[in-house]
Amino acid sequence: MLKRILIGAGAGALATVPQSLVVWGLKAAGLYRRPPPPATVAAGVSAAAAVDLQALPEEQRRAVTLAAHFAFGAAGGAAFGLATGVVRPTPVAGLLAGLAIWKASYDGWIPAMRILPPPATDESGRVLTMVLAHVAYGLTLGALVDRWPRRS
């Protein structure tokens, strides 16, 4: 079981790369105008923990944001790895996991904590971007876990 969790965590951290490329690529393409969600979410979670990221120098703030972003990806991957005890890890299973993470986060705890608006009131391009980013994350997660070497 621990091996499945660790494989999932590693795959989840790696799957954060294509997810990020979608987020920042679509921002650069002009699909949405507001700040990219990873920085906003990291700042919101830090504020809830009574840590002011804005008080940090820019380099440190970027490092903390990046670490938090990859940690969220690893946590989602660890949960997926745990689920592979009952569900075969395929790209389709990863896709469903990625969409479930989006639903629980961007349509769940993130608006509940008032970090970002709910999808119904957020900028439509940013909502589409985040759904597509979680599709990229989930497909990559499922493919990586499915192909990760499992030596006993």
Going by the DSSP 8-state scheme, the letter that residue 106 receives in this structure is I
- Give the pLDDT confidence score for residue 1 in this predicted structure: 85
Q: Does pLDDT of 130 surpass 80?
A: yes
- The per-residue pLDDT for range 74-115, each reduced to its tens digit, is 999 999 999 988 888 899 999 999 999 999 999 998 889 888
Q: What is the pTM of this model?
A: 0.85
Contact between 99 and 135 under an 8 Å Cβ cutoff? The reply is yes
- Residue corresponding to tokens 């951290």: 13
Domain boundaries, the chain: 2-147
Q: Which of 33, 62, 144 is nearest to 95 (CA)?
A: 144
Q: Which of 96, 109, 86 is nearest to 141 (CA)?
A: 96
Contact between 13 and 73 under an 8 Å Cβ cutoff? The reply is yes
